[in-house]
Structure 1
Amino acid sequence: MKQLIRYFSIAIIFLSFSAYAVSQDGKKDSVKVGVLKWGTANWELKTLLDKKLDNKNKYKLEVVGLANKNASATALQGGEVDVILTDYIWVNRQRAEGADFAFVPHSLTVGGLIASPDSGIVNVSDLKGKKIGIAGGPVDKSWVILQAYAKEKFGMTLKDEVETVFAAPAVINEQLMDGNVDAVLNFWHYNARLKAAGMNEVISVKEVLKELKLNDQTPLLGWVFEKKWADENLKLITAFLNSSFQTKEILLNDIGQWENLKKKMKADEDETLFVALRDAYRDGIVTEFKQDHISSASEVFAVMASIGGEKLVGSSSNLDPNTFWKAYIE
C-alpha cells in the first residue's frame, strides 16, 4: 500500500510540475478566430485546416462563426475570441477611443462600380442624374472613395448629383438585376455574382486608387487582436499569421485547391460563378505584410477622412502609427 501511495504521489507531483510549466509559460496552444458564419474568410480558414497548417505551425485553430460585423466586434471586445477580421479604419477608430487593438493585413481594397450593359454608363461622369444602389450605408468605404474620385476627376459632388439607395447586399443586387437602379456599389463577392450574370464593371476600386495616385495594393481588411494579448502570446499569434499567409500562397498559386471550396462558395453547380468568385478572391489576396502598407493606408485614410468625416473615421483624422502591428515584420 505504501508503495502504491508513493507511486501516486510521484505521479501527482509530475503532473503538477507539468501543469506549472504550462501555466508559467503563459502561452495558449490554440487561437480562437471569429469570422462571419457565411463570410468568404471561411474559404481561407477551411483550406488552412484541410492542409493542417495550424498543426504544422504548432498551434490549434478554432473557428468561431459569428452573425455579423457587430457580433465580431463584440466577441473581440468581450474576450470570446482572440482574433477577428475587420478593417483598419475600425481599429484606428477604436484606438482613438482608448482601445489597444492592432491590425495585420489580410486582403486588399477591392470592389467596384457595376452597371448593366444597356445603362449607358461607361464612366463615373455618366452617373449624373442616375440612381445608385449602395451596400454598407452612407459611409461605405467604396462609396466614399468613389466620391473622392468623382470630385478629383470630374469636379462632381457625387452625392448631390445622383439618387442613392442604401440596402442589404442581396437586395442591392436584385435592384440592379430588376432594373430598379442604374448602377451599384456592393461587396466584392456580390459584384462577382453580378459580373457572372452579365453585368459590367465600370471602374474598380483599384483603378480609382490608381487615378487618385494612391497605392492600389493598399490593404483594407486584416486580422485584428488586442495588442496586449499578442505581446503575451507572441509565438502563438505569429504562428497563426504565418499559417494564414501560407494559406494565401496556396489559394493564389494552386488553382486546383479551389475545387475543394466549391460547395462552401455555393458555386458547385455554376462554373461561371465559381470562376468569377475564385478570381475575384485571388485578386484581393495580400501575400505578405510590408512596411509600405502602413504608409499607403495612411494616405488612403486621409482621403476617406476628408470625404467620410467623423461618421466614418471617428475622432481621429490621421492614421495612428500603431494601428498596424509592426512587431510581425520587425
Structure 2
Amino acid sequence: MRGWIRNMGLVAVMSGIWMGLSAFSPPPKPIKLALQEGGTASWEAAAMHELKLDESNRIKLVIRKVADSKAGQVALQSGEVDVILSDFVWTSLQRNQGADFTFVPHSLTVGGLMAMPDGKVKSVADLKGLTLSAAGGPVDKSYVILQAFYNTKTGGDLTKDVTVTFGAPPLVNEQLTGGMADASLNFWHFNARALVAGAVQIISVQDMLKELGVARTPPLLGWVFSEKFAADKPDVIKNYLDASFQTKQALLTDDALWDKIRPVMNAPDDKLFIALRDGYRAGIVTSYTDADIDAAKQAYALLAKFGGADLTGQKPDLSEGTFWAGYRK
C-alpha cells in the first residue's frame, strides 16, 4: 500500500512538472501569408492545419486572401505579409531591381495545352491558322514556353501564326469547351476541370520544357519572402518550410487527408475531385537541391530569349540569390 502511495505521489509530482513546463513553453510565432482566393496553396494550408503541423512546428498561420498573384506580390512588396506564392522569374526580376526577395520551391505543376478530342488540334504544329485562348497575358511563363516550343517544332512565330486571346482561367475553359477557341493554355487545376468536361491534353508545359532541353522539371512556383525577414526570424521561416514539406509528404500518400480538405477544393463531383487530387500530387516538390537551381537557370534562359525584357528585365541570367541558400531538403 505504501509503495502504491509513493508511486501515486511520484506521478503527481511528474504531472505537476509537466504542467509547469507546458505553461512556460513558448507560444507559436505568427507568419503572415498571402494566398490567392480559390488557389491550390490554400489546400496545403488546410491540410497543414488538419494535421496540426503548424502547431508542432511552433508557428501560427495568419492568412490574408488576395484576388490574384499580382495582389500577393504587392502585399509582399509593401510589407503587409511575410510570404507569398510566386515564381522564380518574378523573384529574379525583383532582385535585379534591388529587392532582397528569395525563393524556396513549392510546386512543379503549371499547366498545358488543351483541345477538344473532335477538334483540329492534335499537336502544337496544328495551331497555325487557328485560335488559342490563354490564361494570363503575353508574358505569362507558360505562354512564353509554348512560343519557344512552337518555334522549335515549326520554325514559326506563334504570335504571328496563331490568333491568341487572353482571359481569366474560367473564361479560357468556356471558350475551349464552347467551341470559341481551337485550343487553350491554362493553369493545371483549370485543365483538370476541362478534362472532366471532355477536353484532352495535347502536351504539358513540363513536357515542352523537356523537349526544349530542360531535362529536370524546374520548380516554377515557390514560397517567396525577403532575406531580411529570414534573417530577423530564421526560426519562423525554417519552421514554416519544414511544416510545408511535411504537409506535402502527407498529401502525397494520405487519401483520407484529401477527403478532409475536400471542402476547400470546390470539387463536388467525385471525378473532378480525383483529377484535382492526382494533378496536385503530380506536382508535389519532395526535395530542394542544387539540381533544382540548375534546371531553373536553363528554363530562365529560354524565357529570357523568347519573353524578352518584358518578362525577365535587362539581364538574361537568373539573378544570384534567387533561390534561398538558407534551406535545403
- What is the TM-score when the length of structure 2 is the normalising length? 0.89
Q: 2: CA distance between counterparts of 1:233 and 1:194?
A: 42
Q: 1: CA distance between counterparts of 2:109 and 2:141?
A: 9
After TM superposition, the structure 1 stretch with the greater mean CA deviation from structure 2, 83-92 or 71-80, is 71-80
Q: 2: CA distance between counterparts of 1:37 and 1:178?
A: 26
Is residue 109–residue 216 contact of structure 1 (8 Å, CA) maintained in 2? no
Paired residue type of 1:40: T
Q: Secondary structure at the match of 1:165?
A: strand
Report whether the alignment pairs 1:199 with 2:199: yes
Provide Cα deviations, 1:141-182, integer angstroms capped at 9, x if missing partner: 111111111111221211111111111111111111110100
Is residue 109–residue 282 contact of structure 2 (8 Å, CA) maintained in 1? no
Is residue 143–residue 185 contact of structure 2 (8 Å, CA) maintained in 1? yes
Q: 1: CA distance between counterparts of 2:195 and 2:109?
A: 18
- Displacement, 1:139? 1.3
Partner residue, 1:300: 299
Is residue 47–residue 247 contact of structure 2 (8 Å, CA) maintained in 1? yes
Provide Cα deviations, 1:110-147, integer angstroms capped at 9, x if missing partner: 31100001113111111111100011011121111111
Partner residue, 1:97: 97
Q: 2: CA distance between counterparts of 1:50 and 1:258?
A: 10
Partner residue, 1:16: none
Partner residue, 2:32: 32
Q: Secondary structure at the match of 1:145?
A: helix
Q: Secondary structure at the match of 2:265?
A: coil
- Displacement, 1:28? 8.2
- What does residue range 38-49 of structure 1 map to in structure 2 within 5 Å? 38-49=38-49
Name structure 2 gaps, 5 residues minimum: 1-25
Partner residue, 1:329: 328
Is residue 32–residue 83 contact of structure 1 (8 Å, CA) maintained in 2? yes
Is residue 101–residue 226 contact of structure 2 (8 Å, CA) maintained in 1? yes
Report whether the alignment pairs 1:245 with 2:245: yes
Paired residue type of 1:217: T
Is residue 75–residue 81 contact of structure 1 (8 Å, CA) maintained in 2? yes
- What is the TM-score when the length of structure 1 is the normalising length? 0.89
Provide Cα deviations, 1:271-330, integer angstroms capped at 9, x if missing partner: 111111111111111112111111110110000110010111122211012000011129
Report whether the alignment pairs 1:118 with 2:115: no
Q: How many residues align?
A: 304
Any runs of at least 4 consecutive aligned residues in structure 1 with deviations exceeding 4 A, and if so which?
none
- What does residue range 1-330 of structure 1 map to in structure 2 within 5 Å? 29-268=29-268, 270-329=269-328
State the superposition RMSD in angstroms: 1.5
Paired residue type of 2:107: S
Question: Equivalent pairs: percent with the same residue?
Answer: 47
Q: 2: CA distance between counterparts of 1:172 and 1:191?
A: 10
Q: Secondary structure at the match of 1:65?
A: strand
Partner residue, 1:15: none
Q: 1: CA distance between counterparts of 2:81 and 2:28?
A: 13
